[in-house]
């Protein structure tokens, strides 16, 4: 515990480290729910994957590293665009995600290899190995972003470029504000609430990404992707909130100390607020801010 100037004890934030990552991505539930929701309920006419592919600027003959490939949702579109002369290596820290990626990325015309590993250690690859490196939405879980950015820069061919896709810490403020108001209302302990993240996690988020990236790359260009998720009934939002985000991380940190009845009450309160908003204006909306940084 640490002390503030008034002498009151401050609770340390919960750790969402490597053990949490492996448990959270031990199944496809959370990630697939988020992907389905983002695509089905988006307001941006262009899917995010199309924005990413345009930023990748592939000829089809590149050597690509997908760092943190997850379940292969983005990977499958990338490898389907490669041809003779191209090659892809997909890396993830979770064995379960790698197995899912293998099942998803089935339409590849060029060699595709899957490797379990951490973004902090790319030592198995010589300098300048890859024409393209993708790091899509992994920095929420990275504790040493400078180490990862330095490794990406090292393995990138001088004529290639890397893509770093990242979300703003204040993205989806409507969900977080409602969530924490509801937690307090139904009686969650104040110190438990205080230890939870109040927005998107990570030391490197959209707000400070450029200042980190420019330390490792000569050229950094930001290409924003602004969207909103638009719900006209409460059910899809509740699935996104519960299965996709596990009550904004609260469920994962509750352990055995907080009874299931507390989450039942939280669920009912949030659903009531969302339902009331939909009844009032016809929809409930989450605003999202993402950007793709092209780094070379």
Q: Is residue 115 part of a domain?
A: yes
In terms of Cα–Cα distance, which of 91, 99, 97 is closest to 122? Answer: 91
Range of the domain at 30: 16-295
What is the per-residue pLDDT across 104-134, written as a single tens digit (0 to 9) for each?
A: 999 999 999 999 999 999 999 999 999 999 9
Q: Is residue 1 part of a domain?
A: no
pLDDT reported for residue 79: 97
The secondary structure of the chain in percent helix, strand, coil, rounded to multiples of 5, reads 40, 20, 40
Q: Which residues contact 126 (CB under 8 A, 6 or more apart)?
A: 155
What is the per-residue pLDDT across 84-106, written as a single tens digit (0 to 9) for each?
A: 999 999 999 999 999 999 999 99
Q: Is residue 7 part of a domain?
A: no
What is the per-residue pLDDT across 185-226, written as a single tens digit (0 to 9) for each?
A: 999 999 999 999 998 888 999 989 999 999 999 999 999 999
**Is the pTM higher than 0.75?**
yes
Q: Is residue 42 part of a domain?
A: yes
Q: Which residues contact 181 (CB under 8 A, 6 or more apart)?
A: none
Q: Is residue 4 part of a domain?
A: no
* Residue 176's CATH number: 3.40.50.150
DSSP state of 41: S
Q: What's the angle, vertex CA 204, arms to CA 201 and CA 205, rounded to 5?
A: 65
Q: Tally the domains of the chain.
A: 1
**Which of 58-62, 178-182, 200-204, 241-245 has the weakest average pLDDT?**
200-204
Distances (CA, A) of 274 to 233, 242, 255, 267: 8, 13, 27, 11
């Amino acid at each position: 515990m640490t002390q503030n100037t008034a002498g009151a004890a401050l609770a340390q934030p919960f750790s969402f480290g490597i053990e949490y990552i492996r448990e959270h991505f031990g199944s496809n539930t959370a990630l697939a729910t988020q992907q389905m929701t983002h695509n089905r309920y988006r307001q941006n006419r262009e899917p995010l994957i199309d924005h990413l592919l345009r930023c990748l600027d592939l000829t089809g003959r590149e050597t690509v590293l997908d760092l943190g490939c997850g379940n292969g949702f983005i990977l499958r579109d990338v490898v389907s665009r490669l041809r003779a002369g191209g090659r892809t290596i997909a890396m993830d820290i979770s064995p379960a995600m790698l197995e899912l990626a293998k099942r998803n990325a089935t339409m590849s015309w060029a060699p595709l290899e899957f490797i379990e590993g951490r973004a902090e250690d790319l030592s198995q690859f010589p300098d300048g190995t890859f024409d393209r490196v993708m790091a899509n939405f992994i920095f929420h879980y990275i504790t040493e972003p400078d180490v990862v950015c330095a490794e990406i820069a090292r393995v990138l061919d001088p004529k290639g470029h890397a893509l770093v896709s990242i979300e703003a810490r204040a993205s989806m403020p409507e969900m977080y504000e409602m969530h924490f108001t509801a937690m307090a209302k139904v009686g969650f302990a104040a110190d438990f609430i205080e230890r939870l993240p109040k927005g998107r996690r990570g030391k490197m988020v959209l707000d400070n990404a450029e200042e980190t990236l420019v330390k490792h790359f000569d050229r950094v260009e930001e290409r924003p992707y602004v969207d909103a998720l638009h719900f006209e009934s409460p059910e899809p939002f509740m699935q996104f909130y519960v299965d996709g985000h596990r009550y904004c991380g609260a469920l994962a940190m509750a352990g055995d100390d907080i009874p299931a009845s507390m989450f039942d009450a939280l669920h009912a309160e949030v659903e009531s607020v969302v339902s009331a908003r939909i009844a009032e204006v016809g929809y409930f909306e989450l605003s999202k801010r993402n950007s793709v940084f092209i780094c070379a």
